[in-house]
Structure 1
Amino acid sequence: MNVGVAHSEVNPNTRVMSSRGIWLAYVISVAALHVILLSIPFFSIPVVWTLTNVIHNLVMYLLLHTVKGTPFETPDQGKDRLLTHWEQIDYGMQCTSSRKFLSISPVVLYLLTSFYIKYDPAHFMINTASLLSVLLPKLPQFHGVRVFGINKY
């Protein structure tokens, strides 16, 4: 037991995506982003879908693949200090339900976006690049890998 902290986990980042209601909150927040973008009068439907996809993937990349360490004081003696949030989820175990959800959700959003933009080549390329930028770091082969030394320390 950790004395003086409000949680019983050594690192609360490891279990946050397994919390009750977090997946529903995630889906609702993406839907809210889409509705907010739809309310802007001069955006067309393809632009709104592309913006929803790109903003979602950018935020997901920043929060899961660039932020390192934990916002909590943990008794792990700095072991998780050099790990991104994605690498900390479920103690680094691959193919868990949380990781599958976070890997499938950008693909589902990409498919919806592709359908609603009617496969317009310009939007399609932007959305594909956005999807690849958020999906490739999630592969097990990239666990702990820092491409070109970016985000190494």
Structure 2
Amino acid sequence: MNVGTASSENNPTHSYLNSKGMWLFYSLLVLLLHWVILSVPFISSALAWTLTNVIHNVGMFILLHMVKGTPWNTTDQGEARMLTQWEQLDRGQQFTGTKKFLTVVPIVLFILTSLYTVFNKAHFFINAVTLGFVIVPKLPQLHQVRLFNINKY
């Protein structure tokens, strides 16, 4: 018995991002981030888009692909302890709606950033590198794979 929890799941990490309300909240947070960066007087529109993209991608890389375990008390007997948030999402099942959404958002943000920076080479390179750091770990072939033993423990 897990006293003090309202969830019927062993691990709420499996499903906390599945609701459309959470998707809307996430999208609004990205917009809010962009508006805050854009409101700084000396930052150009192109730089604001690049900063939004980079901050978003770095944040999502850390939250989804670096952080392991779960923030909740779970009854899964430590199974989630060695898994990242991405690996726990939807019980590890690939190509679910939530995983597609979390894969499409950085791609759309990259396309918007590229358009608003008018494909400036420096901006494009920075945005493409950060996009790679967010998209590559999401590939099904890299599920529970630790490259160069980084983030193994």
User: Which bracket does the TM-score occupy, shorter chain normalised?
Assistant: over 0.9
Q: CA deviation at 1:3?
A: 4.3
Query: Retained in 2: the 8 A contact 1:50–1:123?
Result: yes
Which residue in 1 is equivalent to 2:77?
Answer: 77
Partner of 2:43: 43
Shift of 1:5: 1.9
Whether 1:136 and 2:136 are equivalent positions in the alignment is yes
Matching residue's letter, 2:96: T
Which residue in the other structure is 2:111 paired with?
A: 111
Letter in 1 for 2:81: R
Q: Percent of pairs identical after alignment?
A: 55
- CA shift, 1:13, in A, is 0.4
SS of aligned partner of 1:108:
helix
- For residue 95 of structure 1, what is the aligned residue in structure 2? 95
Q: Which residue of 1 aligns with 2:64?
A: 64
Question: 1:15-69 deviations in whole A, cap 9, x for unaligned?
Answer: 0111340000000000000000000000011100000000000000000000100
Query: What TM-score, normalized by structure 1, do the two folds share?
Result: 0.97
Aligned to 1:146: 146
| Unpaired stretches in structure 2, ≥5 consecutive residues | none
In structure 1, the gaps of 5 or more residues are: none
3-state SS of the aligned residue for 2:87? helix
**Number of residue pairs matched?**
153
Let me know the Cα RMSD of the aligned residues. 1.0
Superposed displacement of residue 134, structure 1: 0.5
Kept after mapping to 2: 8 A contact 1:2/1:8: no
How far 1:113 moved relative to its partner? 0.3
Q: Which amino acid aligns with 2:52?
A: T
Show the counterpart of 1:54.
54
Deviation at 1:4, TM superposition (A): 3.7
For normalisation by structure 2, the TM-score amounts to 0.97
Match of 2:30 in 1: 30
Residue 72 of structure 1: CA displacement?
1.3
1:6 Cα offset (Å): 1.9
The question of whether the paired residues in 2 share the 8 Å contact of 1:15 and 1:89 is answered with yes
Query: Moved runs in structure 1, 4+ residues, more than 3 A?
Result: 1-4
